[in-house]
Each structure stands twice: as C-alpha cells, then as structure tokens.
C-alpha cells in the first residue's frame, strides 16, 4: 500500500495529465455526437408514399411529404421505370417528378392523383434528392410497389364493393325499422 502511495506521489502530474486527456477526449466525442444527433433531428425528411382516399377508392395518390423539422429545397424525384399517368390514354405524361420542387416546408405535402392504369402492376425504384438550408444534400432511395393496394380493405375490388353495398343496405334497413 505504501509503495502505491509512493508511486502516486512521484507520478501525480503525469497521472493528472492522463486523466485530463481522457476526460477532454470523452467530452469532445460526447459533444460532437450530441451535435450530430441534433442536426439529424432538425433536418428535412422527405418521403414518397402511396395512399387512397376513402371517398374515392378507385384512385391511387402519390404523396411527397416532408416529415422533417426544416424545409427541403430543390427536391428532385426520379423513378425507374419512369412513372407516367395514362390519362388520356393516347398521351401519357410524367408525374410532377420532371420538375424540381423548389421548397417543401415541414409538414407540407404534394399529392398527385393516379387514375387507374397499368402502372399498378409494376414496382418502382425511386430516388429522392433534396437539400437543406445549409446546402447539405440528402439522397434517399425507396421502392414503391402498388401490389399491396389490391388487397386493401377499401380497394375497388368487386368483393369490397359488395361488402360495402351490403353494409349500406343494412344501415338503410335499420333506419326504417
């Protein structure tokens, strides 16, 4: 025990310096990690997804939405294969993806209706490229597959129409009783 105390007395400066170096490097790592986490929390977060509205179940809607805390700038969306609206049938045209979207504020979304067409039988590889107000560029890859929409409860399949109409008839009969 005495020898340990003797060593500590002789090398107390070096031990103190080592402790300070370890503490300061840990502090720097913690602060930089916290800073990166904070930047990730407040960045724009743009997502592309499909939805249907219960009011009009025959149409799919493509939604481009910013779920982040900051505005997304200069947004470009590319799909492979190219997604085109087939209306009118003889002149299909690309969705809003041919143009850059200059600003998409937090919680803002752009909705594009997709009338029925052959696109529902395909799978699309999508790339969303955008930047934040500090010119940091984000690239996000997604896959959009319309296959699941055929099985949604409110899809326009004949079985679902029959079920809905039966439900409406039941409600009308209940009101008359």
User: Which structure tokens are listed for 168?
Assistant: 């409406």
Q: Where are the beta strands (DSSP E) in 100-155?
A: 101-104, 109-114, 123-131, 137-145
Cα Rg of the chain (Å, integer): 29
| Domain boundaries, given as residue ranges, for the chain | 2-41, 46-168
Q: With contact defined as beta carbons under 8 Å apart, do 117 and 85 qualify?
A: yes
Q: What is the CATH number of domain 46-168?
A: 2.60.40
Overall pTM > 0.75: no
Q: With contact defined as beta carbons under 8 Å apart, do 117 and 87 qualify?
A: yes
pLDDT digits (tens, 9 = 90+) for 20-56: 888 888 888 888 877 777 776 789 999 988 887 766 6
Between 90 and 10, the more confident residue is 10
- Per-residue pLDDT, averaged over 134-138, amounts to 91
Which alpha helices (DSSP H) does 42-106 contain, by range? none
């Amino acid at each position: 025990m005495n020898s340990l105390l003797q060593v500590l007395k002789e090398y107390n400066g070096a031990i103190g310096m080592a402790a300070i170096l370890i503490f300061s490097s840990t502090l720097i790592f913690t602060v930089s990690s916290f800073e990166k986490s904070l930047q990730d929390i407040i960045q724009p977060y743009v997502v592309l997804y499909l939805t249907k509205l219960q009011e009009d179940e025959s149409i799919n809607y493509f939604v481009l939405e910013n779920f982040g805390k900051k505005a997304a700038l200069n947004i470009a969306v590319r799909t492979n294969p190219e997604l085109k609206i087939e209306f009118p049938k003889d002149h299909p045209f690309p969705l809003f993806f041919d143009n850059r979207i200059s600003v998409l504020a937090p919680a803002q979304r752009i909705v594009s209706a997709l009338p029925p067409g052959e696109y529902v039988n395909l799978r699309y590889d999508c790339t969303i490229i955008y930047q934040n107000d500090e010119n940091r560029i984000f690239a996000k890859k997604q896959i959009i597959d319309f296959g699941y929409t055929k099985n949604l409860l409110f899809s326009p399949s004949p079985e679902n129409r029959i079920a809905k109409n039966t439900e409406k008839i039941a409600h009308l009969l209940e009101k008359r009783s």
